[in-house]
Amino acid sequence: MLRKIVLLALPHVAPFEFGVVCEVFGIDRSEMGGPAFDFHIATAEPGPVPTSLGYDMVITEGLDCCADADLIAVAAHAIGEPVHPEVVRVLREAEARGAWILSVCSGAFVLAEAGILEGRRATTHWMHAERLARENPGTAVDPDVLFVEDRRVITGAGTAAGIDACLHLVRTELGAASANVVARRMVVPPQRSGGQSQYIAAPVPPVRSDSFAAVTEWMIDHLDEELPVEELARRALMSPRTFARRFRADLGTTPAAWLNRQRLLRAQLLLEESDLGLDRVAAETGFGSAAVMRHHFVKVLQTTPAAYRRTFGQLGQQLAEQSA
Report the CATH number that the domain containing residue 268 is assigned in CATH: 1.10.10.60
Same domain, 143 and 12: yes
Any domain includes 198: no
Instruction: Choose the final residue of a domain: 186, 214, 248.
Output: 186
70: domain range? 4-186
If you average pLDDT over residues 95-113, what whole number do you get?
Answer: 97
Q: What contacts 135, CB < 8 A, 6 or more positions away?
A: 109, 112
> Does residue 189 carry a pLDDT above 60?
yes
The rounded percent of the chain whose pLDDT value lies above 70 is: 90
Span of 15-19, 53-57, 186-190, 288-292 with lowest mean pLDDT:
186-190
> Does residue 69 carry a pLDDT above 90?
yes
Same domain, 227 and 81: no
Same domain, 180 and 42: yes
Instruction: Choose the final residue of a domain: 186, 215, 245.
Output: 186
Domain count, the chain: 2
Same domain, 45 and 93: yes
At residue 307, the pLDDT reads 86
> What pTM, to 2 d.p., does this model score?
0.69
CA distances from 312 to 93, 149, 173, 274, 290 (A): 29, 20, 9, 11, 18
Confidence band for 204, pLDDT divided at 50, 70 and 90: very low
Instruction: Choose the final residue of a domain: 186, 217, 248.
Output: 186
If you average pLDDT over residues 134-146, what whole number do you get?
Answer: 93
> Does residue 323 carry a pLDDT above 80?
no
Same domain, 41 and 177: yes
